[in-house]
Structures are given as C-alpha cells and as structure tokens.
C-alpha cells in the first residue's frame, strides 16, 4: 500500500509539473525570432551569436519549423521530414548548439510545429509518398491511409484511386489546405508518429514548447491529446479569429483527459485593436469592440499577445499582408505593459532594441505577469491610458497621438519612460529606482539618469558601482541625478528611507574600447596550409575575398603549433565569423560565428556533410585560476597589467554628475572589478 501511495504521489508531481497550457503568473517575454525569408539574418548561427544580448531580456524564442523540407529555401510550413532537423536556417548541429547556448543563459526555444498537413516526397510523380525515418531504434513511415479522405476537395482521392491506392476512411476535421496532404488525426498511426515526433523535439533536440501552426485544420481535442503525451512547458496555437472562437478553441484543447486547457493561443483581438487604432488615428479603438483575451480574468493566462508576425508583416507588393505601418514603438509599449505573455517581433527588436529593452525592464520592475489585473483609465481620440497591476507596482501606460495630454496624479505616479507616442508611469508606492539606460555594451563614457519612485518622506537614492548591494552607508544621490559611467561596472541602486534600503535595481554596463583579439587554430588532421576567411556581422570581409588570407604566423603553446592572426574590434556590436580552409578553398571547416574574444580552435577531422567540424578549446587553453578567491574584487595595478575578458584595461574611477556639477568617485575599498580578469596572460577569478 505504501508503494502504491508513493507511486501515486510521483505521478501527481509529474502531472503537476506540466504547465496548464501556459504557466500561471508567468513574467517572461517571448520573441518571434524570425520574419518571412529571414534565412540569413535569423539563421541558427546568427541567433546564437546574439545570445549575450537577447537572453537577458527574452525568456522564450519562437523559431521556424526546423525539419528538413526537401528543398533549398523553405520557411518550414510544408514539412517533409520530422526527425531530420536540417533546415534552410541551419544544420541540426547548429540548431542544437543554439538551443544549448540560450538554455545555459535561461532562455528556452519554442518549436514551430506543423501538424495539419505534410508534404510528400513526390518521387516519380507520387502524391502520397512520405519518407522513412528512424528515432531511438524505431522506424516511422506514413502511408496513403494516413491522409484525410477528402483531402484537396477529393482530388487526392481521385489520384490515389487511379493508382490503385486508398486514403483514410475519415474526412478532415477542420479546414482543408491544398498545398500539402492533410493528415487524418483520428488515425492511431498518425497519432503515434506525431506523439513521438513531439517527444523528440522536447527530449532530444531540447525545445521547451510548441507553437502549433494552422490549428483550425483539425479538432482542438487532438492538441490536448498530443500535449498530454509530450508534456511541453509551453504551448500556443495559431487560431486566426475573434475572442469568442479563440476561447472555444482553448477550452477544447483540454481534450478528453485533462481537466484544464493544455494550450494558450495568440491573442488576435489584441492585435486587431492596435491595428485599428493606428490606422484610424483614433485611440478609442483600444477600448471598443471585443475584449482581448489579455483582459479576461480567466483567459489572460492563455493569452500570447502580439502586434506583428510573419503573416501580418509587409512581405512584398505581391504579399502586402496587413502590417502596422506607424507608431510601432507605441504599439510595443502597450504590448509590453499589459497582462498576457507578450511576443515581440524580431524586426521590431532589430530596429529599436534599445527602446524595447527599456520597456521590458519597466515591465519587470512593476512585476507584470500574464495574470496581472488591468484597468482602463481614460479613452480619447488622441490617447488611451490603461494601468496594469504588477506584483511590485502599478505600471500606467499611455499611448496615442498626444500621450502627454493625460494628466496623471503626480502624488500617485512618477514618469519613468517616454518616447514617440507613449509614456510609462510607475506608482510611487513601488519604492524603487529607475535607471534610464538598459544593460549592454556602449561606446565611450555613459550617462545614466536615476529616478526615485517613492512615496516615503526624505527618500534618497543609494548606489554602488562594484556589484555589491547598496546600504545606508553607500554613496547617495538626489532624485533625477546623472551618473557618468567611465568604465565597465555593475550599477546597483535603491531607495534609502528611515535607514532601510528598498527596491534595489541592477544594471551591467560594458564600456567598449577598440581592442585586438587573436584566433589560434590547429588541426588534428594534416593540412598543408591554413587560410582564414573572416567577415564581421555587417558583412565586411577582413581577409579579402574567399578563401581569404594564408596564415604564416605560428606559435608553440603547450607543445602544439597554432596558426594565429589578430584582428581589431572597432564597434561595441561587432563580432567576427570565421571559416578555415586550405589555399584552394576546396577543403574547409564549418563557419564559426559570434567571435568577440581570443579563441583556441581545433579542426577535429570529423565532418558535417563536406565541412570539417571545429572544437573550441578556449577554456582548456586559458584555464581559470582561483588563487585570489579570498578577494571580493580586483584592484587594478599598473604592474599587473589586468584586463577584462574583452581585452580592455580595468580603469579605476567613475564620476557623478548632479545639478550641473561633476565629481570623481573612487569605488569603496579600492575594489574595481568582480569576476574573471586576465592577469599576466592567465584568467583569474575574483
């Protein structure tokens, strides 16, 4: 009996670990990590190279269907292979590497899953042939009887009959799509393959959830069945319609087993309202008509809000879609201030990431989640005001043609952020600090304005620059003072009132200075010569045309000969990409992307298709010393010659600018840096 009770407890814990469609009270922000035909810009390699910048702000990234589509360029919406994860965006190795890199930084990936239909191989003119695949020793192959009997309005059945074949006895349970064969989800064979495919994506490839494409094509109950089998942490369906229909679909995603919805859905009414407000120049449209899911007490947990995606953006004159042409900053401000899980569009991130970072930081400062409450404050032709009640504060968002027309109570709210078409105000009861520059790498000295959001008498701002928690004894500032940051640091600030520090916030700033990095390469197989072909992230070729420059310089390190070349990084956002080849270029490695520091690279001899693989041995070659682990931070010394990991010397001071005056400030106890520094050519951890 005791064993049975323990077993039931274990099963209960396993079931409870499966999010009910989408986690309750979720604070994360999602990104659609691609746009239409963005094969190069958002390739797996290029997305991985941006991990350091994206991961601190984005907790989930939705990427295109990653299976091989039996063609050179495909967005993935006509899938052929399930278990072969080569795609137009990169190889399976690159996909797995990208997922692992972001996972280590706390960000998960959402797989675009296309289950309504599947494209056949088409060998010898066949309409109904599918590939044979194997995973975990099990073989999978769909057959003609896995295709809906009324596929393509009966034309597929006519073709099959002429060729002595039969389709399923079941008709389609949803909308037909003529581009591929519609799958019969009533068929146990189809269900078995799909369930294992979904488990493969989660358990093997490393995805954390699914974005289900074209869910109008089959019953929502099948989603419930598939999710209860695979158990994704996140599930969202693409159901183009109004709020009533989307809510019905969410309810039916319970399937026949679950007591709760197993999937969220994209909040199309949220997007429709914003589009109408922008197009009409009438911001009352945000308050009229059908209420979005994000403002419904029950369904906001299951609302994935957005304002643009690959099906609404402008693609071309032939495919204009329904894009939002103006006020995209205001639209994003509204998106990121409201409940639901916001999904920002990669194009918007690329074009205005500085502003989006600030909006995300404000969202987190207030503690807004997908289940936060919200309230309409004012509706006018010229602006719309709505407050969201977060776990740490109330964020008031005002958007429109003239957002400054809204007269918010200065005793209740403090403005922390504004831009074209939007304002953010935080309630003073939050008792915290707003810093107007987001984390990141910047060129030259940086000015950061600190705003006290407090309702406490005599409140001051206290701060540190070495990453330690500010106390009553820390340096103080008055409201709206400006710090001039002259060196890389971690700025922490809070509100000091009555001897207690409240609402501590943190920013990590890297001050960029042009510097050299060196690439070291050797091979485990014989190469007559080494040629480096390099280009940076804006396409500038650094060693000439392909195959690049023959490397003559070699260094002996730890008994091995390394070919090496140094390069100058001149911009904060710059990174280098490398392909190594022989002189003729007919023997080459895979591309290595996102290089920003010294790297030790070994050509292993293993291949991916025709390209040699590279093993990064930088950590092994540089090592990490903990000889100074008793120190809390590093104090620069002109004799020691210490640098940060980007190759920049660690300077000693920052300065304060307040009321038009500037003063130099030494950091407490002379401590200048925490973490890893380069000391006498080796890494040292402080």
The whole-number pLDDT of residue 651 equals 47
With beta carbons less than 8 A apart as the criterion, state whether 235 and 228 touch.
no
Domain boundary (310, 340, 366) is at: 366
Q: For residue 19, what pLDDT is reported?
A: 67
Shared domain for 598 and 631, answered yes or no, is: no
Q: State whether 99 and 234 are in the same domain.
A: yes
**Strand (E) positions, 355-459?**
373-379, 383-389, 394-400, 413-419, 422-427, 432-435, 440-443, 446-453
- Assess if residue 446 is contained within a domain: no
Q: Which of 247, 208, 252 is nearest to 230 (CA)?
A: 208
Residues in the chain with pLDDT values less than 50: 1-16, 624-641, 646, 651-675, 680-683, 685-686
Residue 144 lies in a domain: no
Asked whether residue 280 falls in the same domain as residue 326, the answer is yes
pLDDT digits 0-9 by tens, 623-658 = 643 333 333 333 343 334 455 554 555 544 444 443
- pLDDT score at 5: 39
Do 279 and 296 belong to one domain?
A: yes
Return the SS3 of 580: strand
Q: What pLDDT is stored for residue 678 in this prediction?
A: 58
pTM, 2 dp: 0.88
Is residue 38 domain-resident? yes
Domain ends where: 366, 390, 425? 366
Structural domain includes residue 215: yes
Tokens of residue 627, six digits: 């000889």
Buried b / exposed e over 2-29, threshold 16 CB at 10 Å, is: eeeeeeeeeeeeeeeebbbbbbeebbbb
Under a CB-based contact definition with an 8 Å cutoff, are residues 586 and 650 in contact? no
Q: Which pLDDT does position 10 carry in this prediction?
A: 37
Number of domains in the chain: 3
Q: Which of 341, 366, 391 is the last residue of a domain?
A: 366
- Residue 359: which residues within 8 A CB-CB, separation 6 or more? 332, 333, 336, 337, 417, 424
Instruction: For residue 67, tell me if it sits in a domain.
Output: yes
606 lies in the same domain as 649: no
Secondary structure class of 140 (helix, strand, coil): strand
Is the same domain home to 612 and 633? Answer: no
Question: Do both 88 and 208 map to the same domain?
Answer: yes
CA distance 589 to 596: 19
Q: Residues 344-389: pLDDT tens digits? A: 999 999 999 999 999 999 999 999 999 999 999 999 999 999 999 9
Same domain, 534 and 675: no
523 and 650 part of one domain: no
Is 628 found in the same domain as 614? Answer: no
Domain of residue 561, CATH code: 2.60.40.10
In Å, how far are 263, 266, 324, 482, 562 from 242, measured between CA atoms?
17, 11, 19, 47, 62
For residue 630, the surrounding DSSP H or E stretch is none
Stated as kind and residue range, the H or E segment containing 484 is strand 481-485
Residue 554 shares a structural domain with residue 607? yes
Domain that holds residue 650: 624-655+670-685
CA neighbor of 213 nearest in space, from 184, 183, 239 = 239
In sequence order, the 6+-apart residues with CB closer than 8 A to the CB of 467 are 489, 490, 492, 506, 633, 674
DSSP 8-state symbol, 183: B
What burial class does residue 576 get, using C-beta atoms within 10 Å of its C-beta: 0-12 exposed, 13-18 middle, 19+ buried? buried
How much is the pLDDT for 16? 45
Q: Are residues 259 and 315 in the same domain?
A: yes
83 located within any domain: yes
316, HSE (Cβ side, Cα atoms, 13 Å): 4
């Amino acid at each position: 009996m005791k064993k049975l009770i323990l077993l039931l407890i274990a099963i209960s814990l396993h079931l409870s670990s499966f999010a009910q469609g989408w986690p309750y009270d979720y604070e994360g922000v999602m990104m659609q990590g691609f746009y239409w035909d963005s094969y190069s810009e958002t390739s797996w390699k290029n997305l991985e190279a941006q991990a350091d910048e994206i991961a601190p702000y984005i907790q989930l990234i939705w990427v295109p269907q990653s299976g091989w589509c039996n063609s050179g360029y495909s967005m993935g919406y006509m899938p052929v292979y399930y278990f072969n994860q080569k795609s137009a965006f990169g190889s399976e190795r690159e996909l797995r590497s990208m997922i692992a890199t972001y996972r280590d930084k706390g960000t998960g990936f959402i797989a675009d899953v296309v289950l309504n239909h599947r494209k056949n191989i088409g060998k010898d003119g066949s309409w109904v042939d599918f590939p044979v695949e194997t995973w975990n020793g099990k073989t999978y192959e769909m057959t003609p009887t896995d295709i809906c009997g009324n596929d393509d309005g009966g034309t597929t059945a006519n073709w099959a009959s002429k060729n002595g074949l039969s389709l399923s006895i079941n008709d389609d349970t949803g909308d037909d799509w003529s581009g591929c064969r519609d799958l019969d989800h009533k068929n146990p064979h189809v269900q078995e393959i799909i369930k294992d495919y979904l488990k493969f994506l989660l358990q093997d490839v490393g995805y954390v959830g699914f974005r289900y494409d074209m869910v109008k094509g089959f019953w929502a109950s099948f989603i419930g069945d598939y999710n209860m089998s695979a158990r994704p942490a996140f599930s969202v369906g693409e159901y183009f319609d109004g709020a009533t229909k989307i809510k019905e679909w969410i309810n039916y995603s319970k399937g026949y087993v679950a007591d709760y919805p197993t999937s969220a859905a994209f909040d199309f009414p949220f997007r429709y309202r914003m589009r109408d407000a922008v197009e009409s120049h009438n911001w009352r449209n945000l308050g009229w008509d059908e209420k979005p899911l994000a403002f419904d007490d029950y369904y906001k947990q299951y609302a994935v809000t957005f304002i643009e995606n690959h099906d609404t953006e402008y693609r071309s004159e032939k495919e204009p879609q329904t894009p939002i042409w103006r006020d995209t900053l205001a639209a994003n401000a509204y998106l990121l201030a409201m409940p639901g899980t916001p999904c920002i569009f990669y194009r918007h991130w690329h074009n205005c990431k500085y502003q989006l970072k600030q909006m995300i930081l404000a969202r987190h400062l207030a503690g807004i989640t997908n289940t936060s409450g919200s309230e309409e404050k004012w509706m006018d032709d010229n602006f719309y005001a709505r407050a969201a009640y977060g776990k740490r504060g109330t964020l008031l968002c005002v958007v429109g043609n003239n957002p400054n027309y809204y007269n918010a109570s200065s005793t209740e709210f403090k403005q922390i952020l504004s831009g074209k078409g939007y304002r953010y105000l935080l309630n003073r009861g939050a008792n915290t600090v707003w810093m107007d520059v987001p984390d990141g790498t910047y060129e030259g000295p940086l000015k950061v304005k600190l705003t006290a959001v407090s309702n406490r008498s005599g409140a001051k701002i206290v701060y540190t620059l070495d990453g330690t928690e500010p106390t009553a004894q820390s340096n103080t500032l008055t409201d709206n003072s400006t710090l001039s940051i002259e060196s890389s640091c971690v700025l922490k600030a809070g509100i000091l009132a009555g001897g207690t520090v409240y609402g501590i916030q943190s920013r990590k700033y890297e001050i960029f200075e042009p510097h050299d990095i060196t690439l070291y390469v050797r091979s485990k197989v014989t190469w007559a010569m080494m040629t480096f072909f390099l280009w940076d992230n804006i396409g500038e070729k650094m060693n000439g045309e392909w195959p690049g420059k023959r490397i003559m310089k070699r260094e002996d390190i730890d008994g091995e000969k390394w070919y090496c070349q140094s390069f100058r990084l001149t911009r904060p956002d710059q990174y280098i990409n490398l392909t190594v080849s022989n002189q003729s270029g007919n023997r080459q490695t895979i591309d290595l992307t996102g290089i920003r520091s010294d790297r030790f690279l070994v050509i292993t001899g293993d291949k991916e298709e025709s390209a040699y693989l590279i093993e990064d041995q930088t950590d092994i070659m540089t090592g990490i010393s903990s000889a100074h682990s008793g120190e809390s931070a590093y104090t620069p010394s002109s004799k020691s010659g210490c640098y940060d990991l980007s190759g920049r010397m660690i300077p000693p001071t920052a300065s304060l600018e307040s009321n038009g005056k500037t003063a130099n400030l030494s950091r407490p106890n002379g401590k200048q840096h925490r973490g890893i520094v380069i000391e006498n050519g080796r890494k040292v951890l402080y």
